[in-house]
Amino acid sequence: MSMMDVDVQPPTQLTAIASPQLADGLATLPMLIPLNGAVVNGNSTLPTEPPCETVYVQNLNESVTMNTLKQTLTNLFKNYGEVLDVVAHHNLRMRGQAFVSFADPEAAAKAVKEVDRFPLYGKPMKLSFAKTRSDAVVQKLDGTHMEEYKAERMERKKRARADNPLRRKAQARLKASAGDGTAPQAGRRIVQMPDEYLPPNKILFLQNLPDSTTLDQLQMLFSQYPGLHEVRLVPTKKDIAFVEYVDENAASTAKDALHNYRLDGEAKMKVTFARK
DNA sequence: AGCACA
């Protein structure tokens, strides 16, 4: 339903690779082994992106609600492997970003390669590997060392804070100028953006309505959510309709509430943002 | 721009 009805890269079959073995003796904090690619000496050697299990996503459309965002990201990324967790925050510092954790670093690598620049909700996502492992991954690797891991993470944070910020700025600049000659446009094979990933719109698009659906019925249903402007049926097609709200936020609320609602107790109606 | 998770 999600990615399948359009021409999108099919789910990647990945053979499971051996997870890092906790060598018997020295395995106190196996997950703290630095994700390779550490900076060697301040200037010349740039860190190569480490094969972290977690993908760091930037440039997300910030007007999408947290729930739909997480849901959508899970749906999208599970095409590349088992998704353990999706973490996103709405606060000033963290909005527009998300962390998608895979069980398998190869799945993450595949996702970074193929999904980078994919336009989700109207904005091309920037994908890279997370700097640190996520809790979900650590849990999976070795749930028993969670507490120690968190303690260690605190330490790292402190050290980072003490670290000279100027040096980091310089590194960032270097990196920006270095890469970026031929980043392949992701999503080349997509002939049409799936409805689910369209950017917010004050107009909603309803699909899969039962034949018996009436205008009154829809008005009744959608007026439960504030800001309803108008419901429009499509004379030639009984199974679809448009519902317009005063703004995107209002529409978004109604959409989240009524997507998959069963009007007749049977079929689920699909509610997405309309195409512009 | 911005690398979190209690």
Query: What's the pLDDT tens digit per position in A60-105?
Result: 999 999 999 999 999 999 999 999 999 999 999 999 999 999 999 9
Q: Of A51 and A54, which is predicted with more confidence? A: A54
Query: What pLDDT does A160 receive?
Result: 58
CB of residue A136 closer than 7 A to nucleic acid strand B? yes
- Is residue A59's pLDDT more than 90? yes
Q: Comparing C-alpha atoms, which of A117, A5, A105 is closest to residue A60?
A: A117
- Contact predicate A76/A120, CB 8 Å: yes
Give the pLDDT of residue A151. Answer: 73
According to DSSP, the residues that pair with A56 across neighbouring strands are A99, A128
Give me the CATH topology for the region A203-273. Alpha-Beta Plaits (3.30.70)
Sort A18 into a burial class: Cβ within 10 Å, 0-12 / 13-18 / 19+.
exposed
Q: For A107 and B5, how far is CA from C1' in angstroms? A: 20
3-state secondary structure labels for all residues of chain A? CCCCCCCCCCCCCCCCCCCCCCCCCCCCCHHHCCCCCCCCCCCCCCCCCCCCCEEEEECCCCCCCHHHHHHHHHHHHCCCCCEEEEECCCCCCCCCCEEEEECCHHHHHHHHHHHCCCEECCEECEEEECCCCCHHHHHHHHHHHHHHHHHHHHHHHHHHHHCCHHHHHHHHHHHHHHCCCCCCCCCCCCCCCCHHHCCCCCEEEEECCCCCCCHHHHHHHHCCCCCEEEEEEECCEEEEEEEEECCHHHHHHHHHHHCCCECCCCCECEEEECCC
- pLDDT of amino acid A189: 57
Report which listed range, A133-142, A187-196, A225-234, is most confident. Answer: A225-234
Q: Which nucleotides of B are covered by protein (CB under 7 A)?
A: 1-6
CA A53 / C1′ B5 distance in Å: 14
**CA-CA distance, A53 to A132, in Å (whole number)?**
9
Least confident interval from A31-35, A72-76, A180-184, A256-260 = A31-35
* Four-point Cα dihedral A159, A128, A53, A94, nearest 10: 60
Whether residue A265 has pLDDT greater than 50: yes
Ranges of each domain in chain A:
54-139, 203-273
Looking at residue A272, what is its pLDDT? 97
As a whole number, mean pLDDT of residues A158-178 equals 50
Q: What's the whole-number mean pLDDT along residues A194-199?
A: 92
Top pLDDT among A144 and A234 is at A234
- Whether the model clears a pTM of 0.75, i.e. scores above it, the answer is no
Could you give the dihedral angle defined by the CA atoms of residues A198, A199, A203 and A205, in that order, rounded to the nearest 10 degrees? 10
- A95 CB-to-strand B distance under 7 Å: yes
Whether the per-residue pLDDT at A225 is higher than 90: the answer is yes
Contact between A39 and A170 under an 8 Å Cβ cutoff? The reply is no
User: Does A54-139 match A203-273 in CATH topology?
Assistant: yes
pLDDT digits (tens, 9 = 90+) for A108-165: 999 999 999 999 999 999 999 999 999 999 988 776 667 777 776 776 666 655 554 4
Of residues A250 and A40, the one with the higher pLDDT is A250
> What is the CATH superfamily name and number for domain A54-139?
RRM (RNA recognition motif) domain (3.30.70.330)
CA of A241, C1' of B5: distance in angstroms: 41
Pick out the nucleotide with least CA–C1' distance to A98. Answer: B4
A85 touches strand B (CB under 7 A): yes
Which tops the pLDDT comparison, A32 or A188? A188
Torsion of CA A76, A98, A118, A269, to 10 degrees: 40
